């Protein structure tokens, strides 16, 4: 199994530009999570989906952030417009079940730098 | 609300000595507890979990953790540390809350094994 796949691995963009991060979960997994990791705030859950449906987006910082999961094998996290404070490592994770008892499998992350 | 605390930002252990990484939690209800490990420039990797049953849980790479309900703790342990165990360790807690279930992660403990 290839594991959770994220692209791009690194993204450098200028303030004000649109950024799209992509994630392919493990085949057969029913839940997908987007996290952000920074030194200051640690690991934060942004949003998660069960069976392609958004369940909790309370961690999304503001309206500049949006996430979609059009099918079971693909999800995107979009930032528009981007700001320097969005610089972080963004992780996608997936799990087999839809309850919290199932372990999550993390992708390698996308390191975003906004200048 | 659920929360988890990792009181030590940094733990240093000599190779071959036993190691302990501490974690305490706070939830309303029965907790699901997890340990994850993160190596440099990688995503988090599942180590072990407690859902129910035996309080001593064994996981990957010789790690184990003990669920202590009275002390609300879930400390990670290993009898003999290896240099390759050096990494960032995260404790996480969740509860069964039908319809909206997510993990809350601690701030992480950096474990350094000294040769």
pLDDT in tens, A24-45: 999 999 999 999 999 888 999 9
Q: What is the pLDDT of residues B60-107, one digit of tens each?
A: 999 999 999 999 999 999 999 999 999 999 999 998 777 668 899 999
Provide the token pair at B106: 């601690």
Q: What is the pLDDT of residues A63-114, one digit of tens each?
A: 999 999 999 999 999 999 999 999 999 999 999 988 888 899 999 999 999 9
- Would you call B39 an interface residue with chain A, using a CB distance cutoff of 8 Å? no
Nearest CA in chain B to A90: B43
Q: What is the pLDDT of residues A1-28, one digit of tens each?
A: 689 999 999 999 999 999 999 999 999 9
* pLDDT at residue A61 in the model: 87
Q: Do B42 and A99 touch (CB under 8 A)?
A: no
Provide the token pair at A44: 């934060």
Nearest CA in chain A to B34: A103
Neighbours of A105 (CB within 10 A): 21
Smallest Cβ–Cβ distance between A42 and the set B34, B100, B107 belongs to B107
Distance CA B90, CA B70 (A): 21
The single residue listed with the structure tokens 């939830």 is: B27
């Amino acid at each position: 199994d290839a594991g959770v796949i994220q692209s791009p691995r690194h993204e450098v963009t200028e303030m004000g530009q649109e950024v799209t991060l992509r994630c392919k979960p493990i085949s057969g997994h029913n839940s997908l999570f987007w996290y952000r990791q920074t030194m200051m705030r640690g690991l934060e859950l942004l949003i998660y989906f069960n069976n392609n449906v958004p369940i909790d987006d309370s961690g999304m910082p503001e309206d500049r952030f949006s996430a979609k999961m059009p099918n079971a094998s693909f999800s995107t996290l979009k930032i528009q417009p981007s700001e320097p404070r969005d610089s972080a490592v963004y992780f996608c994770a997936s799990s087999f079940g839809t309850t919290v008892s199932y372990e999550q499998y993390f992708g390698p992350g996308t390191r975003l730098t906004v200048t | 609300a659920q929360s988890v605390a990792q009181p030590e930002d940094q733990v240093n252990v000599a190779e071959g000595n036993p190691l302990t990484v501490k974690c305490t939690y706070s939830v309303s209800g029965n907790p699901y507890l997890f340990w994850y490990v993160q190596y440099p420039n990688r995503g988090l990797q599942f180590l072990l979990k407690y859902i129910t049953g035996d309080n001593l849980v064994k996981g990957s790479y010789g790690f184990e953790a003990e669920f202590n309900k009275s002390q609300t703790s879930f400390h990670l342990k290993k009898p003999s540390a290896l240099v390759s165990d050096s990494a960032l360790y995260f404790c996480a807690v969740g509860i069964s809350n039908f319809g909206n279930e997510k993990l809350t992660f601690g701030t992480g403990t950096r474990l350094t094994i000294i040769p």
